[in-house]
Structure 1
Amino acid sequence: MKIPEAGATPAADARPAGRRERKRRQVRDQLYAAALDLFVSQGYETTTMEQIAETADVARATVFNHFSQKVGFLEEWGARRRARVAEILGSSHAEDLPVGDRLRRYLREMAELNIVSRAETAILMDAGARVGSLLHDMSLEIELARIAEQGRQRGELRTGVDADQVGAMLAASYFSTVLRWIRVEPAPFDLRDRLDGALDVILLGALDQNVRQDKDAPTGR
């Protein structure tokens, strides 16, 4: 799998924009904010594109010019969250950290975004799992695999470890953990601690070192 450069999402594109493009982004942001407000206040399923247009004070056709389907708002939400985490890590030069610490920082920042907007996360993550492409979207998996691959190139991963598999396992663990976290009120566990624990299991393994040594030792027969 070819791993793209960090921040390679529309939401993270920082190239200078002309007046027309700035206006387009402004309208898109306006639509996005209106949609999220409606999703949180009345639910994803009951919100219509017409209501989004009315709340954003634009024509109905304008909504479809930016988001051809309602599920596009869910995809935009995920992309913006990943872009925000990439921005936070970039500003703190997290790329200089060892791979394990960098992955931990990434998952912790994602957890923090979810915690400070739990109601929003509950609505959009649940909708993404049921009607969107959340569990089939490889964007988070690719980003985590990119970090793991950089660690592999620096000799920080065990020989033979597949960075793509690391990314896939971490992404699957992240989504399943957050989905469990949002479906009980109040939150049934600390999301940061649970993601930390999942990362430890994936990076270090579940078996005690002595158990692994005993398993690998000759049987004497």
Structure 2
Amino acid sequence: MPPANRTEKRKQQTRDHIIRIAVELFQHQGFQATTMDQIATEADIARKTLYNHFSVKEAIADAYVRDQSMALAKANRQILDRHPDTASRLLAALDKAYAWVETNPELARICLGYRMKNMWHGDGSENEETGTQGLMAEILRRGQKAGEIRTDIPIKLLLLQIDVLRGSIVMDWLRDRESFKLRREIARTVDLFLYGATGKKR
């Protein structure tokens, strides 16, 4: 293995180790009670090493959620072939993604707040595609090819629209998780995205 590849592999291993230790601490004692110093100590690494990978603990939580999103999307690729159309594929993909959110609301809240702050400051991390976004993009591309989705709007813009819709739903749910069922509301959001306020299906 070339030296550059070995270096990258070690960096990836250290990153994964940090995330694993931090998430264990978050789950055991709570996010607020966990400090960066404690993460470095428990991970048995220098503080400088930790900060070389992550500037704040919110970034660790975000990296963990992104990794989970990628893993879920990879596992759910079969959705593309098991369902017959764009609507059923989107519903199935998002239902599985938000089943994870329902069982991890605190991490979802931290991650969403961190991403919104980064978007406001424009540091570029908001442009990093999540696994869910990648899976939805593939579903929409198939929909365009099948004539189910209009082709005069770029996939990037379509993704932005559904991201805004689902993001607002999640924020409302996180504020009051008893007010509605998240996955049921996400399903309604897919319907709104595909068929608009009139609900007329072509």
Q: What range describes the TM-score normalised by the shorter chain of this pair?
A: 0.7 to 0.9
Query: Which of 164, 167, 170 is 2:162 aligned to?
Result: 170
Matched with 1:94 is 79
Matched with 1:191 is 182
SS of structure 2 residue aligned to 1:110: helix
1:25-74: CA deviations, max 9, x gaps? Answer: 44322211232344453435x64422210122222122123324544324
Matched with 1:206 is 197
Residue identity in the other structure for 2:42:
T
Root-mean-square deviation (CA, aligned residues, Å) is 3.2
Per residue, is there more helix in 1 or in 2?
Answer: 2
| CA pair 86-209 structure 1, distance change in 2 beyond 3 A | closer
Post-superposition shift, 1:193?
A: 0.4
1:113-143: CA deviations, max 9, x gaps? Answer: 11122233234334443x4449972424852
Query: Which of 81, 91, 107 is 1:120 aligned to?
Result: 107
Aligned mates of 2:89, 2:20 — CA distance in 1: 30
CA contact (8 A) 2:23 2:61 kept: no
Return 5+ residue gaps in structure 1 as ranges.
Answer: 1-17, 211-221
CA contact (8 A) 2:143 2:149 kept: yes
Return 5+ residue gaps in structure 2 as ranges.
Answer: none
CA contact (8 A) 1:126 1:179 kept: no
Post-superposition shift, 1:153?
A: 1.8
CA contact (8 A) 1:74 1:132 kept: no
What's the TM-score once normalised by structure 2's chain length?
A: 0.75
Q: Identity, % of aligned pairs?
A: 26
Residue identity in the other structure for 1:204:
Y
Aligned residue pair count: 189
Structure 1 range deviating more: 156-165 or 29-38: 156-165
CA contact (8 A) 1:122 1:183 kept: no
1:166-185: CA deviations, max 9, x gaps? Answer: 2111111121111111122x
Residue identity in the other structure for 2:72:
V
1:2-28: CA deviations, max 9, x gaps? Answer: xxxxxxxxxxxxxxxx87766544432
| CA pair 63-208 structure 1, distance change in 2 beyond 3 A | closer
Structure 1 range deviating more: 162-171 or 106-115: 162-171
Matched with 1:5 is none
Matched with 1:160 is 152
CA contact (8 A) 1:142 1:164 kept: no
CA contact (8 A) 2:61 2:107 kept: no
Matched with 1:216 is none
| CA pair 125-134 structure 1, distance change in 2 beyond 3 A | farther
Does 2:64 correspond to 1:77? yes
CA contact (8 A) 1:145 1:167 kept: yes
CA contact (8 A) 1:85 1:106 kept: no
